[in-house]
Amino acid sequence: MIDLRINVATFIDGYGNAVDFLRRTVPLRLPPLDEIWSMVGQTLAIVVLGTVLAYLLSVPVALLAAENTTINKPVRAVARILIVVARAMPELIIAMFFLRVFGLGALPGILALGLGSIGMMAKLFTDAIEELDAGPREALRATGATNLQQIVGAVIPALKPAMVATTLHRFDINLRGSVILGFVGVGGIGLQISAALQTLNYRLGLGLMAILLVLCLVTELVSGIVRTALLGRDYTPKHATLMSRLGRWLTPRRAGRATTGTTGTTGRAERTVPNRPSSFDPDRVSPPWNGERIRRALWVGAVLVALVAALIGAQISVAQLEGGLGKALYTLGLYFPPSTAEIGDKLVGSMVETLQMALAGTLLGLVLATPIGVLAARNVAPPRVAAFFRTLVVCVRAIPGIIIGICFVVITGLGSTAGALALAIGAIGFFSKIIADSIEETDVRVQEAIRASGAEAQQVFVAATLRQVAPSLASHAMHQLDNDLRGATGLGVIGAGGIGFYMLNAARVLEYGVVTTCMLMILVSVLLVEGLALWTRREVK
């Protein structure tokens, strides 16, 4: 952080720039309402279809990469390599490639978000598959089921919670990330923000950013509601956030709750059967159409309607697809062989700078998020305090990184300092939520044992609570470092330093070999981070 000049003096020097910038942006200016609806609709169409495409591609890749669903080691190795390569490819560069192939429109953005999301989604799906209980698959195998029947009948149903949660989480990420695609020509609200900033129309630019912020907040809320409804959770803590309460209100209630009791003289616990509807018929093959099933069907129908609306709003034509596919191989050939264009030393220096930005952003975000996450935990902080900090975390997570980056570029000037600070703010939202959730899931028996020995509250927190949280936090810290490495690459488009600046300029001047060299450098960095993550997980266990 010393090399990046992250200190109090930097903020003091940038105070005047911040004040001047605010004077030039107030009052905010908004476009006409019909233009707002058009921009928002196009953005949502791109994000919805991109996320759905990523889901459809990630599931088979994860099944091929998981050890318990693919016995063939070469096939598994190829799938895992594909996941790593996908994680190393910034959506920005993918979008520029498809813009050259398919031209302007929503299609390049959809493909960029879809292919760029495979790395994260397939990796999380793979981990979830490998952690599944082998019992249901073994039962199906014993009946003579084929491998495909075992996957459809046992793996996919058990994977549903992870699929829903990961896909909706990625949708939130893609919405915030879609803005940066506008800086290379992809349609939507990001394109209008880019045009406003390039013409120094800061009032309009900040007004559009305010619209985007509201959109991200609403999406965060709706995403929580859909997640709760599809997973069928019927429990909401007493001091739940607004998102959780709305999710519970719209969630189908179960016909009964399973309870545990003891019977006979053996004291063996057995689980009572949930109450069945009065119309229950044991000869029925499918469950009855009760209120719960109807509500679930309505939610699934709403998701399908949103998908159809996104397809219509994207305005993808068959002619555009046919014309682009004919140019794809030729365009791909432009990126080979890799070259440095006699700026190899600058590329290496910028890659080092990108790593510094990612490391500094992750570390600073973790340090600042720790007290926020602790105060957001309901079993540590008072109810009102926890609710306030939970709401704060949701608001921070909803702010797109590009907006934070632009603000810091104005305050601290062009360069990696602004990029590192923007990454740190983004990491605060992630780490705060992880810390709060992890603390709430700790085993209270360990805490009670230490408290019974005469330890004070602070000692119990450090010796019991933090010790249980450490392994999960270390794992998520490596995950965030990986995300920050990709984020640092994208921030180069707004002048926040790093390898992204050279990648974007190389693509603009048609030096595609330099783009490939930068991609290979990012791939090596991702592999190094992956190795560091494996070592960290092994050491903290």
**Pair 153, 11 in one domain:** no
Residue 241: band (very low, low, confident or very high) from pLDDT cuts 50, 70, 90: very low
Give yes or no for a cis peptide into 32 (omega within 30° of 0).
no
Q: Which amino acid is at 482?
A: D
Residue 262: band (very low, low, confident or very high) from pLDDT cuts 50, 70, 90: very low
Is the residue at 313 inside a domain? no
Identify the CA nearest to 478 among candidates 443, 420, 440, 434: 434
Query: Rounded distance, CA 500 to CA 416, Å?
Result: 11
| pLDDT average, residue stretch 64-68 | 91
Is the residue at 176 inside a domain? yes
Determine the pLDDT at residue 57. 94
Residue 251: band (very low, low, confident or very high) from pLDDT cuts 50, 70, 90: very low
Hey, what are 317's tokens?
């034509």
Q: pTM score > 0.95 for this model?
A: no
Q: Are 236 and 254 in contact (CB under 8 A)?
A: no
Identify the CA nearest to 401 among candidates 438, 353, 365: 365
**Pair 76, 15 in one domain:** no
**Pair 117, 21 in one domain:** no
CA 351 from centroid of its chain's CA atoms: 23
Give 269's strand partners: 262
Query: Rounded distance, CA 476 to CA 431, Å?
Result: 8
**Pair 159, 175 in one domain:** yes
Final residue in a domain of this structure, among 178, 196, 220: 220
- According to the 3-state scheme, what is the secondary structure of 263-296? ECCCCEEEECCCCCCCCCCCCCCCCCCCHHHHHH
| pLDDT average, residue stretch 137-152 | 88
Residue 533: band (very low, low, confident or very high) from pLDDT cuts 50, 70, 90: confident
Identify the CA nearest to 113 among candidates 29, 32, 57, 37: 57
Query: Rounded distance, CA 484 to CA 444, Å?
Result: 33
In 10 A of CB 456, how many CB atoms? Answer: 10
- At residue 234, the 3 state secondary structure works out as coil
Model pLDDT for residues 442-486, shown as the tens digit of each residue: 777 777 787 788 777 777 777 777 777 777 777 778 878 888 888
Query: Rounded distance, CA 113 to CA 274, Å?
Result: 42
Final residue in a domain of this structure, among 194, 220, 246: 220
**Pair 484, 406 in one domain:** yes
Indicate the helix (H) or strand (E) that contains 261: strand 260-263
| pLDDT average, residue stretch 115-131 | 89
Hey, what are 286's tokens?
């499918």
**Pair 203, 343 in one domain:** no
Is the residue at 200 inside a domain? yes
Final residue in a domain of this structure, among 189, 220, 251: 220
Task: Give me the domain span that covers residue 453.
Answer: 1-29+335-541
Is the residue at 302 inside a domain? no
Handedness of CA 15, 19, 24, 26 (dihedral sign): positive
Is the residue at 474 inside a domain? yes
Is the residue at 410 inside a domain? yes
Determine the pLDDT at residue 252. 39
- Report angle CA 159, 162, 168 to the nearest 5 degrees: 135
CA dihedral 239, 244, 248, 252 (to 10 degrees): -150
Query: Rounded distance, CA 126 to CA 63, Å?
Result: 7
At 20, phi and psi to the nearest 5?
A: -65, -40
Q: Are 205 and 430 in contact (CB under 8 A)?
A: no
Determine the pLDDT at residue 110. 93
Residue 64: band (very low, low, confident or very high) from pLDDT cuts 50, 70, 90: very high
- At residue 239, the 3 state secondary structure works out as coil
Q: What share of the chain is helix, strand, coil (3-state, %, to 5)?
A: 75, 0, 25
**Pair 2, 82 in one domain:** no
Hey, what are 152's tokens?
């459809």
Model pLDDT for residues 162-217, shown as the tens digit of each residue: 888 888 888 888 988 888 888 888 888 888 888 888 888 888 988 888 888 888 88
* Number of domains the chain is built from: 2
- According to the 3-state scheme, what is the secondary structure of 163-192? HHHHHHHHHHHHHHHHHHHHHHCCCCHHHH
**Pair 155, 89 in one domain:** yes
**Pair 1, 84 in one domain:** no
Hey, what are 455's tokens?
């330890």
Q: What's the Cα-to-Cα distance from 216 to each of 43, 394, 407, rounded to whole Å?
A: 11, 10, 18
**Pair 22, 44 in one domain:** no
**Pair 4, 76 in one domain:** no
CATH of the domain at 434: 1.10.3720.10
Is the residue at 467 inside a domain? yes
Query: Rounded distance, CA 116 to CA 86, Å?
Result: 6
Q: Cα-atom radius of gyration of the chain, to the nearest Å?
A: 25
| pLDDT average, residue stretch 121-138 | 88
With b for 16 or more beta-carbon neighbours within 10 A and e for fewer, the 299-337 pattern comes to: beeeeeeeeeebeebbebeeebeeebeeeeeebeeebee
Give 263's strand partners: 268
Determine the pLDDT at residue 66. 92
Is the residue at 303 inside a domain? no
**Pair 59, 12 in one domain:** no
Determine the pLDDT at residue 114. 93
Helix 202-231, helix 33-65: angle, nearest 10: 50
- Looking at residue 388, the DSSP 8-state letter turns out to be H
